[in-house]
Structure 1
Amino acid sequence: MTRVVAQGTFDILHPGHVHYLQDAKAMGDELHVIVARSVNVTHKEPPIVPDEQRRQMVSALKPVDEAHLGHPEDIFVPIERIRPDVIALGYDQHHEVGGIEAALSERGLECDVRRAGPREAREDELLSSGRIIGKILEERG
């Protein structure tokens, strides 16, 4: 059985998230998703939705076998516990494949690091939490 890990913030769920998780699930038999804790989100605005609520929402998605909250201090702790065969990165996530591979190697973890493919937005779709928030503010703010 091939165990896959996907990870992300998943602040406001949208079709891009679903596409990423479907791609990740197609890379193996079992999909575990690590939902980043708000304290670890430093590369963009912090999430609006509380940590546990985001984990519950991701857990409810069809491709997901199990959703976990990330570790508050060390993002690799859940990886060590889950022991995946594959880590699936989103096509636009800020992580560098080489950096992830090096960190895994330092910890004695062997797994493939792959990137999911993009999903093209249809005319009326918003494929980022930031764009959804921007649209809400524009129309109702």
Structure 2
Amino acid sequence: MTNDNPRTVIAQGTFDLLHPGHVHYLEEAAAMGDELYVIVARKSNVDHKKAPICSAAQRRDVVDALEVVDEAILGHEEDIFVPIERIDPDVIALGHDQHHDADAIEDELERRGIDCVVDRASGRESTREDEVLSTRLIIDRILERRDR
């Protein structure tokens, strides 16, 4: 039996150098509904940290390959709410460490007539001593272990 009215979830992020923290976030987001759409940020929208290493298309393709993801798309160059309006989700799942202000997002969703809940996923603790759950820390480790 198929669900005629699936609960749609959006997750979003940069997803540069995919790591277990990203996978945890997307698994939690997927558990919030029936369909998971992931909006992968374009380089032009990443202004809160250093620019991504990998291209937007490559990051989207890697995220799209994950079993929990129904579809990964690239974000809009100028207005991050354009794909949200198109998908019309029931839930927007924010990562535990994402810089977004949930209240501001809810206000903008209401202003645009989008009726959905904004929820925040939990963080994932390292399960092994050598596990790295941050793109920045992965890059730092690479630089540390290679001749600069």
TM-score by length of 1: 0.99
* Displaced runs of 4 or more, over 2 A: none
Bigger CA radius of gyration? 2
Identity of aligned residues (%): 64
Question: Are residue 136 (structure 1) and residue 136 (structure 2) matched?
Answer: no
**Given the alignment, which residue of 91, 105, 109 partners 2:110?**
105
Aligned residue among 14, 17, 24 for 1:19: 24
Q: Structure 2 stretches of 5 or more lacking a match?
A: 1-5
Once the 2 structures are TM-superposed, how far is the Cα of residue 131 of structure 1 from its aligned partner? 0.4
Match of 1:43 in 2: 48
In 2, the alpha carbon distance for the partners of 1:110 and 1:46 equals: 32
SS at match of 1:113: strand
2:124 to 115, 119, 122: 119
**What is the total number of aligned residue pairs between the two structures?**
141
Paired with 2:50 and 2:126, the residues of 1 have a C-alpha distance of 22
Report what 1:76 is aligned to.
81
In the alignment, residue 35 of structure 1 is paired with which amino acid? V
Unaligned 5+ segments in structure 1 are: none
Deviations 1:68-121 (A, max 9, x none): 000000000000000000000001100111011011111111100000011001
Letter in 1 for 2:51: P
1:124, CA displacement in angstroms?
Answer: 1.1
